[in-house]
Structure 1
Amino acid sequence: MARCMRVADKGPGRKCRVSCALEKARQGGYEMKKLGLIANCTKPRAGEVVRCIDFAARRMGLKICADPSTARLLKMCKCMKIDRIISSVDAVIAIGGDGTMLRVVRELNGRDIPVIGVNIGGLGFLTSVAEGDLELALECLSDDRYVESVRSIADCSVERGNRVIGKYRALNDIVITSGATSRIMTLGVSIGRNDVTSYVSDGIIVAMPTGSTGHSLSAGGPIVTPESRVMVISVICPHTLSSRPLVIPDSSKIVVELIQCAGRVPLTVDGQVGRLLAAGDKLKISKSERGVRFIHLPGHSYFNVLRQKLRWSGSNR
């Protein structure tokens, strides 16, 4: 098995170096693959990382295409709109932070294309590949040596009266908040045919497992492993001491009704898209039949990610 040399030089003039082993791997007849590159071009290191991936991929015989903004960072690359990229590649490499991964998942819109994330952002719960592992990641892709994690997606429809006024898909969470005025609202929640209760609060979060370490965690929700078959309901600043997050099977059908509010309140899906809601609007939320496949390198551990990102140090004795 050919081994890939990692990029070790951290200096400002760092260049991508592809080992002879990679060239041998290419000549050894690995299956050719086509990869799509989608980067957050506002990140300072985006250009260098994109060029590094493109250079290494070409040396390995991998085909590369990119969306227009990413392609501008490269001198030689096939440029396509994101829809065409997704319909023609074997995998998508998202370069940025968690927001970039969420954007790519939204663009996939249920299509069965795996995604691997390269972290050049901040926290990076979803982008599991570090810059120093770029060549290793490409070798693993070319050699089909990687681990897949299938993540659940939520389908959300917004109803006003008898009319559906919006449809969304969420990997992380669906959030109703009080907005800039910070006025409380009344929300009714039912699960299946069962009325749960009504909450007087600043809002509510319905999180999928992948999103349990996001807004839901800040609202007191639990951490659940990303492949768990559950959803989490967390109320934001409830006007009661007895309210606690609910963990329910992902086969459940959730209805959230905005019973009372002062004016319009924002609905936000994955922190990126949404709309304004009015009193009487209903959200119907259920697990989508189509999830998303995340690619990780061999040896990836979710609990290692938790320890690193949440800075768990353990008990000192």
Structure 2
Amino acid sequence: MTAAVFTHRRAGDTHAAVDLLLEIARRRRVTLRLTHDEAAKHGIELAPFVEIVDDPGDDIDLCIVLGGDGTILTALRRYAGTGVPVFAVNYGEVGFLATIDPDGLAEDFERAFSGEYDTIELPTISVGRPDGTWSALNDISVHRKAGLRVADLAYALAGEEIGRVRCDGLVVATPQGSTGYNLANGGPVLAWGVEGFVVSFIAPHSLTARALVVAPGDELTINNASREEPVEVHVDGRPTLELQPGEDIHVAFGLMHGTLAQLPGASFYHRLRERFGRLAR
């Protein structure tokens, strides 16, 4: 089998785990495929069962991630729509998307290479306009630009205008993304497996702006109703495009799915308790 490897930007945190992964892969005759940047980060050179490439490609059996939710999201976006499972070890702060924590890694890597895991399909949300389409696993958010006036955003669903809100921005989140920025806005948590997405507002200047759970087939249109001020659109937390005054973007649910590996018997509710309950103690 062949497995791609993605690691945390803080290379020192994962050096020992990468060395162990290389050792087990050689013994199991599993080829690890790394980008040039990943290989340089860990001082890895071309060798039997190690390939160093510009891009890992889609012709792999597994993607192993050693990192936090940001690194895991990068891998999930890269392999969305391919069916390649992402097996993630948590080296971040929360690691809500992680499959395992970095304890007992030898046994866990063996299980990964043996296929001893379940998979769950995580839907994307896609934002489109005439010059392109971008997809997020967690959320797409619209923000007023630093130093400019409050945003003025109108939004419509399935062709029906729902409202217009002066606010610092809004967040459109998938079920797996609902525990991130949306949760911080006071939006509802959607369990994994729910078909649909949630729209919540960032610091709305209104008593009536409330989060809304949207049916999966209903397209969301967001209009920058300001006469002068552009706003920024972020995809999974990364600034991606600007929305000029009067411009629209269209958001659709579930056009592609990422495949996340998880331990047999794992559940969303167990993950919710362990990740967020632990932080509260």
Q: TM-score, normalised by structure 2?
A: 0.91
Corresponding residue for residue 124 of structure 1: 95
Choose 249-258 or 72-81, whichever is displaced more.
72-81
Q: Any idea what SS the aligned residue of 1:54 has?
A: helix
1:174 equivalent in alignment to 2:147: no
Partner of 1:19: none
User: What is the CA-CA distance between 1:229 and the residue it aligns to?
Assistant: 0.4
Deviations 1:33-64 (CA, angstroms, capped at 9, x unpaired) = 21111112424312222111111222223221
Structure 2: give runs of 5+ residues left out of the alignment.
none
Shift of 1:312: 6.1
Q: Distance in 2 between matches of 1:261 and 1:207?
A: 27
Paired residue type of 2:64? I
The answer to whether the 8 A contact 2:125-2:137 is kept is yes
Aligned counterpart in structure 2 of residue 78 of structure 1, from 43, 51, 54: 51
More relative contact order, 1 or 2 (CA 8 Å, 6+ apart): 2
2:40 is aligned with 1:40? no
- Verify the 8 A CA contact 1:41 1:70 in the aligned structure 2: no
Candidates 237, 247, 257, aligned match of 1:281: 247
The structure where strand makes up a greater share of residues is: 2
Mapping of residues 1-317 of structure 1, within 5 Å: 33-72=1-40, 73=42, 74-75=44-45, 76=47, 77-82=50-55, 85-158=56-129, 164-181=130-147, 183-260=149-226, 262-311=228-277
Unaligned runs of 5+ in 1: 1-32, 159-163
Post-superposition shift, 1:261?
A: 5.9
- 1:56-76 Cα offsets, whole Å, 9 max, x none, are 222223221111122232244
> In structure 2, what is the Cα distance between the partners aligned to 1:260 and 1:145?
52
Q: Is the 8 A contact 1:38 1:95 kept in 2?
A: yes
Query: Partner amino acid for 2:22?
Result: D
**Residues 86 and 108, structure 1, Cα contact 8 Å, conserved in 2:** no
Q: Quick check: 2:216–2:254 contact (8 Å CA) kept in 1?
A: no
Which structure has the larger Rg?
1
Percent of matched pairs sharing the same residue: 25
